[in-house]
Amino acid sequence: MSGPVTLGIPQPAPTDIRGAGHSLSLGKAVAVMAKALFGHVVAPAELRLVEENAVLRAKVRRLQEELEELRTQRDAVIAHELLSMAGENAEPALA
């Protein structure tokens, strides 16, 4: 026995896939489906939310950095005031 074995699964004729009318409509269908999937995955409303989320995260990061800087400045001022109140006779607390 020679030739391909199909195992009883019907195979489309070559003209069904490569026919002039079918290849054009198949290409359009693939393009439409790709656009539909892309539009579904990345909807404009979702893009807006992602962008807004990124902006808010950056703002929170900036505010956290500013807060850390202000805390460092406050601690330095407190330490300076404590040292100035102790005067020249300041001794370590554990001495």
Distant-in-sequence, close-in-space partners of 17: CB < 8 Å, separation ≥ 6:
23, 26
pLDDT band per the 50, 70, 90 thresholds, residue 14: low
Query: CA distances (Å), 65 to each of 5, 18, 75, in order?
Result: 70, 63, 15
Q: Is the pLDDT of residue 85 over 60?
A: yes
Q: Which residue has the tokens 């300041």?
A: 90
pLDDT the model gives residue 38 = 60
Asked whether the whole model's pTM tops 0.75, one would answer no
Tell me: the pLDDT tens digits for 51-68?
999 999 999 999 999 999
Q: Kindly list the domain boundaries of the chain, sorted by start residue.
A: 28-87
Pick the more confident residue, 83 or 6. 83
Give mean pLDDT, residues 22-40.
64
